[in-house]
Structure 1
Amino acid sequence: MKKLALSDEILLQVDKPARYIGNEVNMIVKDPKKVDIRFAMCFPDVYEIGMSHLGIQILYDMFNRREDTYCERVYSPWLDLDKIMREKDIPLFAIESQEPIKNFDFLGITLQYEMCYTNILQILDLSKIPLIATERGEDDPIVIGGGPCSYNPEPIANFFDMFYIGEGETQYDELLDIYKENKKNGGSRKEFLEKAAHLSCIYVPQFYDVTYNEDGTIKEMIKNNENARDKVRKDIVLDMNEVYYPTKPLVPFIKATQDRVVLEVMRGCSRGCRFCQAGQVYRPVREKSLEKLKDTARKMIESTGHEEISLSSLSTSDYSQLKGIVNFLIDEFKEKNINISLPSLRIDSFALDIMSKVQDVKKSSLTFAPEAGTQRMRNVINKGLTKEDILNGSRLAFKAGWNKVKLYFMLGLPGETTDDIEGIMELCEEIAEEYYATVPKEERIGKCQITASTSFFVPKPFTAFQWSPMNTIPEFLDKAKIVNDKMKSMLNRKSLKYNWHEADVSVLEGLFARGDRKLSKTLLSAYKKGCLYDSWSESFDFEKWKEAIEETNVDLDFYISRQRSEDEIFPWDFIDAGITKEFLLREYHNSQAQKVTPNCMTRCSGCGANSFGGGICYENKN
C-alpha cells in the first residue's frame, strides 16, 4: 500500500481528510517508473467541486490510456490543511501516488472561474514551483492552462508556460508526443515550448510582448519568437460519436457537488444569447447519436454504482433526440431506481411530462432563467423567451402539481432602465397570480413560493457585450434595492422571495474577465496579502483586494465601467475562437436596436463557426 503524504495525526486535524487520500472507485494506478510522462491534472478548488468537473474526468481517462503517460490529480487544499502544509513545509502532492507535484512533467490547471485565480498561485506556491513562468528551470513542470477562462488568459499569462485553447481531445496527444521526443533528445524547456507553439491551439505567453497606448489601451501584441503564431485558433471535436468518453469515471468516497453519472449529449448552443460566452465559444452545435448515448449510459451506471444520471449540455432541450434518450433512461433503469436529472430544459408540456415520470422531482422547485424582467430587455440580450412562454410554462407546472418556482435574472445589463429592473418583481407577481388562478383552493398545498435570484452582469470576452461598461458596486446595490423594494409592494409578496449575488465579487470577476497582463501584479499582491478561495464567502476579503488594487496602481474604472471603443484592441484579440469580431459587433448593434437574431438552427447569421466544417448549424445543414 502506498505511503500517504500526510500523517494520521495531520489527517485527524483537517476537515474531510478523504479529500486527500485517493483510492476512489475507478482510480487509475500505474508505476511512475514505467512511464515517460507524468501529468498532474489540477482543479484549483476543493476536491468536491473538482471531482464534479466533467472535463477533468475526460482528460484523466484519456491521458491514462497512453502507456507512456500517468495522469494524476491535485486539488486546492482547504484553508485548514493549507495552514498546516506551510507550517510544516509539506509540498503539495498528487492524490494517486502521493508524490510532490514538483516531480511531474506537466501541471495542467483548468480555468473555470476568475475567482479561482488566487488558488492557482496557492497550487504553484505549495508545489514549490516558481510563480513566474520565466523564472522556472529545467526541472520544473510545464504549467499549462485550459478551460473557459483561457479565452482571455492575459491577466494570468505570466504564471503559465502555455495555454491550450479549445477542447482537449484534439491535440493533446500530439503535444505529449512532442514533449516525449524533446525529452528523449535532451531538448531544453525553451525548445519544447517553441515546438509546442507550432500547434494551432497552443499559446505561449512569453513569446509575445504587449505595448500600450497613452490612454492605457493595448497598442500592439508583438511576437518575440519566430515560432509563435500570429493567431492562436481554438480546436474542437467535430465527430462526437468518435470522441473518447470515459465509461468508468472516478467515484468519490465523500459527496461531491454533483454526485452522479454525467451523460454529455451535445456541445455548443444555437440560441445566441448575447451575454453568454459559452454559447459563443463552444459553437457549432455537435450532437452525440442516440445509440452512442444508450451504450455509454449502460456502461457508466454499471461501473460506478451511482443512483442518478444527468444529461449534460448548454441547452438540453435543443438536443434533437431528447425524447428518445429520456424515455430510454426511464425504461432501462426503472427497476434499479436510478434518478434522472434534466438540467437546461425549457419548461414546456414535454418537459413537464418527462419530469413527472422521474423520481423525487416534486421535492424540488422548477427553474426558469428569464434573465431580464421585461420583454424589451430580453430582446436586447437575445434571450429568445417571451413572457407568454414563461407564464404558460408556470401554468403547466402548477397544473401538474408544482408550487415552487425559481427564476434567475441579471442586473446591470446594457441599456437597463428602472422599468426593466422593477419588471423582475412584476413578472414574479404575475407567476404567483397564475398559481392562484390555475390551482383550485382545495387542491393547493399551501402558498406558492416564487424565488427570484439576481446575479450582477459581467461582460465577457467573445460576446456581443464585450464593448459594454459594467456597473459599479454602488450601482449594482442600488438596483438590487429597487427589486427588493418592489417586492415589498406586491399584492402576493408573502409568496415572493428575493436573493442577490455579492457585488464586490462580481466587480472582481469583471476586472479579471476583461483585464490585461498588467493585472498579474495585482493578483500576486492580493495572494501575498492572504487572498484565497475568493469564490467562497467565508474566506473572501474585499478589503485586501482593494489594498492590492491601490498598491499596484490599477484604475478599476478603466477596466470595469469604461465604454470600449469599437476599434479597440482587446487583450484576447490574438485568439481565433471561430466567432468573428465583425459578427459580435453586429450583434452589439442589434442589441442596441432591440433586434432579435434568430436561432442558428433556423437561419445562419454568419458568426463564423461554420468555418470548422462540422456541427449542425443552419448553413452546414443546407
Structure 2
Amino acid sequence: MRKLALSDEILLSVQQPARYIGGEFNMAEKVPNEQMIRFAMCFPDVYEIGMSHLGMQILYAMFNKREDVYCERVFSPWPDLDAILRKKHIPLFALESQDPIKAFDFLGFTIQYEMCYTNILQVLDLSGIPLHAEDRKENDPIVIGGGPCAYNPEPLAPFFDMFYIGEGETQYDNLFDLYKEIRNNGGNRWTFLEAAAKLPGIYVPMFYDVTYHEDGTIAEFKPNTPGIPATIAKELVVDMDDAPYIENPIVPFIKVTQDRVVLEIQRGCIRGCRFCQAGNIYRPLREHSLEYLKSYARRMLKNTGHEEISLSSLSSSDYTYLKELVTFLIDEFHGKGINISLPSLRIDAFSLDVMSKVQDVKKSSLTFAPEAGSQRLRDVINKGLTEEVILKGASEAFHGGWNRVKLYFMLGLPTETVEDMEGIALLSEKIAELYYDEIPKEQRNGKVQVVASSSFFVPKPFTPFQWAKMCTKEEFLERAYLVKDKFKEMLNRKSLKYNYHEADLTVLEGILARGDRRVAPVLEEAYHKGAMFDSWGEYFNNDIWMKAFETCGVDMDFYTVRERSLDEVFPWDFIDAGVTKEFLKREWLAAVSEKVTPNCRQQCSGCGARQYGGGVCFEDKN
C-alpha cells in the first residue's frame, strides 16, 4: 500500500485533499531503482488546471512507456497547504510515489503563461532546490522548462538549468539516453549540461552571455563556451501520426477544468492572426489522419469512462476531415451517452448543424472572436473575419434556436482609434438587433443575451506585433470605460453585457512576455514578498510587484510603452522558431498599412516554415 506524504490530519485540514494523494485511475505505477531516471513533471498551478493540460499528459504517457524512466507529477500546492508545508518543514513531493522532488533526476516545468512564474519559484523553494541554477549541487535535480513561454526564456534564465525549445516528442529520448550515458561513465552535472547544450532544441542559459547598449537594448547575445550553438532551432513533429499520444489518460478523483477526453486533431494554424503567438510558433499546420483519430477516440473513451470528447486545435474548422470525423463520432458514440465538444469552430451552417446534433441548445451559448470592433482593425490584425460573416453566423445561430452569444475582443491593439473601440458596442448591438428583427416573437426562446468581453493586448515574441508598444494601465482602463459608456447608449442595452480584463495584470504579463534577464531579480523579489498564484484574481497583489520593480531599479516602461526599432536585437532572437524575422517584419509593416495577408491554404506567404519539409506547406494545391 502507498504511504502518503501527508498525514490524515493535514489532508483533512486543506481544500480538495485529492489534489495531493495521487492513486487516480490510469496513474503510472513503477518501482523506482537506482538505474531508473526519475522525472518530476510540474505544471506550476493548482492540480485542477494542470491536469487539464494536454501537452503534459502526452509527455507523461510518452516518458512512462520507457522502462528506464519513471515520470511522476507535481503541481503547485494551494496556499493552505503551502503554509503547512513551510511550517512543518515537509518537502514538496510527487503524486505517484509521494517521494520528495529533491530526490528526482529531473524537475520539468511546462510553462504555459507568464503569470505562473512565481509559482515556479514556489515549487523550487518548497522542494528544497536552490532557486538559482548556479547554486545547485551535484545531487539536485536538473531543472528544465518547456512550453510556449520557453520561446522567451530570459526572464526565467537564472532559475533553470536548461530549456527545451519546441515540441517534446522529438528530443527527450535522446536527452534521457545522454543522461544515462554520462551518469554511467562517471560524468557530473556540468558534463551533462555541456553535452546537452549541443543537442537540438536544448538551451542552457549559463553557457550564454548578454551585453547591453547604453540605452538598455541588447548589444550582443552569444555563447561563452566552445562548441555551444549560437542559435537554438525549435523542435517540431513533422508527421503527426508518428508522434506518440495518450492511450490511457489519467482520470482525476475530482472535477478538473477539462474533465473529458481530449483528441488533438492538428497542430499549428493557417490563419496568420498577427497578435497570436501560437499561430506562429506552431507553424506549419500539421494534421492527424482520420484513421489515427478514430483509433485514439475509441481507445481513450474505453480506457477512461469519460462521457465527453473534445476536439483540440487552434482552428478546428480548418481540419481537412472535420466533417468525416464528426460524423464518425456522432455515429459511433452519440447514442451511448457521449457528448462531443467542438471548440475553435468558425460559426457557419455546417458547424451549427453539427452543434445542434451534439449539444443541448438550451444550455449552450455560441462564441465568436471578432477581436476588434471595426473591419479596419480586423484587417490590421489579419483576423480574416468580416462583419458580414459574423452577422451571417449569428443569424443562422438564432434561426437554429440559440439565443446566447459570447463575443471576444481585444483593446489596445496597434493603430486602434476611438471608432474601433466604439465598434465593439456597435457590433454587439447589431447582433442583438438581428435576433429581434429575424426571429418572430412566438419563436423566441426569451430575450437574446450578447456578452462582450475584452482582454487587453499584450505584444508577444515571434509575432508581427513584437515591435509594438503597449498601453499603460491607465490607457487600458480609459479604453475600457469608453467602450462601457458606448454600451450604455445602445437601444438593446438590456440584452447586452460588457466585461473587461484586469489592466495591471496585463501590464505585468507584457513585461514578463518581452523581458530579458534583468527582469529575473524582480520576479524573485516579488516571490519573496509573497507573490504567488498571480493568475488568480483573489491572490494577485499588484502592490507587491510595483515595490519589487522599485527595489530592483527596473524601469517597467522600457518593456511596455516603448515601440521597438526594426533593427533592435530581442532577448529571444537566438531562437529559430521557424518563422523568420524578415517575415515578421513584413507582416508588421503590412499591419500598419492595413493590408491583409492570405491564409496558408490560399497563398504561401514565405514565413520560413517550409524548411521543415511537411505540413500545409506541402499539401497538394491542385
TM superposition score category, shorter chain reference? over 0.9
Q: Paired residue for 1:181?
A: 181
Give the secondary structure class of the aligned counterpart of 2:340: strand
| Structure 1 residue 35, shift from structure 2 partner | 4.5
Q: Paired residue for 2:69?
A: 69
Q: Paired residue for 2:415?
A: 415
CA root-mean-square deviation: 0.9
Q: Does the CA-based 8 Å contact 2:361-2:402 persist in structure 1?
A: no
Give the secondary structure class of the aligned counterpart of 2:221: strand
Give the secondary structure class of the aligned counterpart of 2:244: coil
| Identity across matched positions, percent | 68
Matches within 5 A, 1:335-374: 335-374=335-374
Q: Paired residue for 1:134?
A: 134
CA distance in 1, matches of 2:15, 2:77: 10
| Structure 1 residue 226, shift from structure 2 partner | 1.2
Give the secondary structure class of the aligned counterpart of 1:616: helix
Matches within 5 A, 1:85-104: 85-104=85-104
Give the secondary structure class of the aligned counterpart of 1:356: helix
| Structure 1 residue 359, shift from structure 2 partner | 3.3
Aligned length in residues: 622
More displaced 10-residue stretch of structure 1: 143-152 or 27-36:
27-36
1:232 aligns with 2:232: yes
User: What letter matches 1:503 in structure 2?
Assistant: A
1:439 aligns with 2:435: no
CA deviation vs aligned residue, 1:201-226 (integer Å, no higher than 9, x gap): 00000000100000000000121111
CA deviation vs aligned residue, 1:263-293 (integer Å, no higher than 9, x gap): 0000000100000000000000100111111
| Structure 1 residue 360, shift from structure 2 partner | 2.6
Matches within 5 A, 1:384-533: 384-533=384-533
User: What letter matches 1:93 in structure 2?
Assistant: F
CA distance in 2, matches of 1:303, 1:166: 29
User: What letter matches 2:67 in structure 1?
Assistant: E
Q: Paired residue for 1:162?
A: 162
CA distance in 1, matches of 2:160, 2:229: 17
User: What letter matches 1:382 in structure 2?
Assistant: N
CA distance in 1, matches of 2:492, 2:330: 38
CA distance in 1, matches of 2:618, 2:67: 41
Q: Paired residue for 1:53?
A: 53
CA distance in 2, matches of 1:490, 1:569: 46
Q: Paired residue for 1:382?
A: 382
Q: Does the CA-based 8 Å contact 1:409-1:454 persist in structure 2?
A: yes
User: What letter matches 1:120 in structure 2?
Assistant: I
Q: Does the CA-based 8 Å contact 1:604-1:619 persist in structure 2?
A: no
Structure 1: segments with no counterpart, 5+ residues: none
| Structure 1 residue 362, shift from structure 2 partner | 3.4
1:143 aligns with 2:158: no
CA distance in 2, matches of 1:556, 1:47: 32
CA distance in 2, matches of 1:605, 1:589: 14
| TM norm structure 2 | 0.99
CA distance in 2, matches of 1:36, 1:365: 49
Give the secondary structure class of the aligned counterpart of 1:532: coil
CA distance in 2, matches of 1:132, 1:248: 36
Q: Does the CA-based 8 Å contact 1:261-1:308 persist in structure 2?
A: yes
Q: Paired residue for 2:537?
A: 537
Give the secondary structure class of the aligned counterpart of 2:242: coil
Off by >6 Å, runs of 4+ in structure 1: none
Matches within 5 A, 1:586-605: 586-605=586-605
CA distance in 1, matches of 2:361, 2:168: 34
CA deviation vs aligned residue, 1:146-186 (integer Å, no higher than 9, x gap): 00000000000100000000000001000000001011011
CA distance in 1, matches of 2:247, 2:311: 15
CA distance in 2, matches of 1:26, 1:335: 26
Q: Paired residue for 1:121?
A: 121
Q: Does the CA-based 8 Å contact 2:409-2:455 persist in structure 1?
A: yes
CA distance in 2, matches of 1:595, 1:307: 45
| Structure 1 residue 333, shift from structure 2 partner | 0.5
User: What letter matches 1:576 in structure 2?
Assistant: D
Give the secondary structure class of the aligned counterpart of 1:540: coil
| Structure 1 residue 619, shift from structure 2 partner | 7.5
Matches within 5 A, 1:521-600: 521-600=521-600
User: What letter matches 2:321 in structure 1?
Assistant: Q
| TM norm structure 1 | 0.99
More displaced 10-residue stretch of structure 1: 564-573 or 609-618:
609-618
Give the secondary structure class of the aligned counterpart of 1:437: helix
| Structure 1 residue 36, shift from structure 2 partner | 2.0
CA distance in 2, matches of 1:398, 1:335: 26
Q: Does the CA-based 8 Å contact 2:334-2:358 persist in structure 1?
A: no
Give the secondary structure class of the aligned counterpart of 2:74: strand
More displaced 10-residue stretch of structure 1: 96-105 or 609-618:
609-618
CA deviation vs aligned residue, 1:122-150 (integer Å, no higher than 9, x gap): 00000000000011010000000000000
Q: Does the CA-based 8 Å contact 1:52-1:257 persist in structure 2?
A: yes
Task: Give the 3 Å change call, closer, same or farther, for CA 249–619 of structure 1 in structure 2.
Answer: closer
CA distance in 1, matches of 2:15, 2:29: 26
